[in-house]
Each structure stands twice: as structure tokens, then as C-alpha cells.
Amino acid sequence: MRRLNKHEAAARMRSGKTVWAAGAYDALSAKLIDEAGFDVVFTTGFGISASHLGQPDVEIYTMSENLAVVRNIANAIRVPVVADIDTGYGNAVNVMRTVREFEQAGAAAMVIEDQEVPKRCPLVANAVEILPLDESCAKIKAAIEARRDPETVIIARTDALTEDQAITRARAYVEAGADMIQPISRTFRSVASLRRLRKECGVPLSLQILGWLEKDLDPAEISEIAGLAVFPLVPLMTATHAVLANLRALAASHTTAALPSPTTTTDEFKKFIGFEEMEALQARFLVRELPEQVFFE
């Protein structure tokens, strides 16, 4: 299977030809997404916070912690990475450094939110606070100026909670230079409203397929409006359900004879994770040192 490179993925997203992704929270989940055949890998802040800190997604982790995960993911996979960079970790000047660091780490695209710092996850929070429009636009302009590769895609996410406010912000972010717009699922509640957003902002949408979008939209409807379509939580929720079920059974029975979820064999996992390639490299480059010779007179 031929995989997209960074520039091909960027061109497709900007053109509105949908690029499909799932959400990774570490390098292993990213490799699984790549292996499954997705066009790109999306790094989910929700999942990274859960996986690395065991904490909710309220921007507790730092820029450098998120960056380390994204760098490991980019180094582990063969497809481009779309990085969730939260609010950019500060003001417009902080955003410039954030964009450069994530671009250098291998991100082909980045999603930046317009919430106050620290952010709150709109998936679970009753209310979120968003920045004044002029400050949010300045952060988008800073992100555009900071990127070293003009092909790096900047996706502006608005967490505005009314359609009209979100559309006003989307237009302003596009004028500031954003390549794509990402709404949150709780604001736009129908495919007709998403079509309106797409028409009004003039660029393809980035959609996180959650909530009603996951239940009610079919792939054709998503493809009509989205340059990027992400299933951000399916890997995390799948792993959580399967691992917890097996561990509960194992804790109760102390045997692997009847685990509720099937497991990958050790041989299968070794092949997937790359032991064969590593052993080939070791055979080529690791020269054994000869034992020290003892000479007798």
C-alpha cells in the first residue's frame, strides 16, 4: 500500500479531498494506526494526558511533554503526523516557538485552539472560556509566520459554543491565514450546519468524529465538507476496554486460559514492533570484540 508523504497529505487536506486519521496517544498506538491503513496519524491531547499522566485533558502536561510524544510518534511511523498543540502553550510569541518545535519534530499539520490558557476539554467541561477574537487571530498569524515549511498545515479550532460566533471566528481565522477550520461537535448539531460553516469560512473543515458526528454522519457526508476526518478516541477507548477486561479476568482467575479479549501472540508482536529489522541491523553493525589475548613468555 502506497502511503502519502507530508506534501501530498497537505495538498489533499487543503483541496478538501478527505484525509482520514485516528488518534494516537503514544508511539505504539501510532504504529497500529499506520499499520491499519489510515492516511495520517492524529495525536490526541485527550489521549496523551490520559496515557502519560493518568490525568484529564486540562492542559496539565507541558509543551515539552507533548512534543516528546509527537517526536517519538513521527520517528515510529511511515505516514504524516497531525499534532494537537492545544492552545499553543501561551501567547502569540509562545505559539511561534511551539509551531517551530513541532514542525522540527515531524508534524505535517497542527491544530491550535482558541481557548484561554489552560484549556478545558469541551468534550466533558460544562463551559469553556475562549480568548478575545483579536488575540486569537494574532496567535494564528504568529503560527503562520513561524512555520518554516509553507506546506505545514495550520488548523484553527474554535470552541465557540454558538454557530454564529463560531462562523465569525472561522472567517477571521481564515483571514489571519489558517488553512483549515475545526469546530467542536457540540456547537454544530447537523450536517446542514456544518455545510453552512464550510461555505461561510471558505476552506475545508477538520472534523473530530465524536458524539453525534460518529453516530449520525456517513462517510460520504463527511467527505463532502472535511479535508481531515479524525476518529480521535477509538484507539484509546478500544485499548482501555480490552486491557481492563483482560486484567480483571486475570486478577480474578490467575490464568490466561479464558481471557475475554483475544491477545496478540508474542511472535506476532515481535514481528510488528520490528525485532527482525533490529536484529538485521545488529548483525550488520555490531562487531563483537575479541576476547583479550593473554601472551605467555
Indicate which residue of 57, 86, 159, 179 is catalytic. Answer: 57
- Known catalytic residue: 26? no
Can you spell out the DSSP letters for 100-113?
HHHHHHTEEEEEEE
d(CA 86, CA 81): 15
Going along the chain, which residue ranges are E strands?
Answer: 19-24, 40-43, 81-84, 107-113, 153-157, 180-182, 205-208, 226-231
User: Is residue 196 within 8 Å of 171, Cβ to Cβ?
Assistant: no
Angle in degrees, 0-180, between the axes of helices 266-273 and 27-36, rounded to the nearest 10: 90
Please identify which residue in the block is written with the cell numbers 457540540.
186
CA-based nearest residue to 65, from 79, 55, 76 = 55
User: Is residue 73 within 8 Å of 43, Cβ to Cβ?
Assistant: yes
CA-based nearest residue to 20, from 28, 36, 7 = 36
User: Is residue 51 within 8 Å of 236, Cβ to Cβ?
Assistant: yes
Angle at 79 between CA 265 and CA 15, to 5 degrees: 140
| Residues acting as catalytic residues | 57
